[in-house]
Amino acid sequence: MEEAKQNKTILVTGASTGIGAAAARRFAAAGWNVILADINREAGEALAAELGDCALFVLADTRDRSAVEAAVAAGIACFGRLDSVFANAGIHRRNRLLDISDEEFDLVVKTNIYGTVNTLRAAVPAIIRSGGGTVVINSSDQAFIGKPGNFAYGLTKGALAQITRTLALELGPEKIRVNAVCPGTVRTPLVDSLFERVSAAGDTTPDELWAEENALFARGRAGEPSEIAELVYFLASDVSSFCTGGLYLADGGLVAG
């Protein structure tokens, strides 16, 4: 059966590449308008051009609350309303408690936690004005398990899981459902750059690192952005109308074993 087209608008942060771009394509294919917010102007504008009139790119760093507010305002001026937000923007750095610098700790926390909170502060009031809607937060399998060498990243993703639970209760009366997608490793430019940094610091190639990573999953491989985008779409759309406060794994079986 052909999927019914939706006349809704979603804000996607970190929208230019990886999971964000895959989600933007998924929503556009379903007839949603998509506000693409990212710090990568070239990739963002290219994606907006690819998607056509249903997409608007706005240059925005989520660490700057006013920039996200401007993105929301621009999107509403273009499309008339906001029904959902996918708070996706984030970064990853490998570190441990005993070796992380103050600068790197601040960078990860301000991007992953402050950036998400800024996004929600900007988007949620607009969703309320539209009569309700949905929030999807990009957390991680590290909301469920610990991984050595991921001190700051795991800390922030655990915080996003708790934000999801709390907001589901706070925003329920406003007719807003809040859920989190919790991916395992996904083949994205973010992970590629991480493996390149790890490889440069040691004697392992990125291909060897990917082979080691793929072997961790019951599926025999890491995920693809389009697979996570399907779960994001499910959680943002009306087909998941009884789902709120949930942390939804898409991890290839990693946490199961």
The tokens of 95 are what? Answer: 């570190």
Q: Which residues contact 199 (CB under 8 A, 6 or more apart)?
A: 205, 206, 209
First CA to last CA distance, the chain: 36
For the chain, the C-alpha Rg in angstroms (whole number) is 18
Residue 233 among the catalytic residues: no
Q: Which residues contact 53 (CB under 8 A, 6 or more apart)?
A: none
C-alpha 187/C-alpha 34 separation (Å) is 23
C-alpha 91/C-alpha 133 separation (Å) is 27
Q: Which residue type, as a one-letter code, is found at position 108?
A: V
Element containing residue 195 per DSSP (H, E): helix 189-200
Give me the catalytic one of 114, 153, 233, 248. Answer: 153
Instruction: Categorise residue 209: left if φ over 0, alpha if ψ from -120 to 50, beta otherwise.
Output: alpha
Please identify every residue annotated as catalytic. Answer: 153
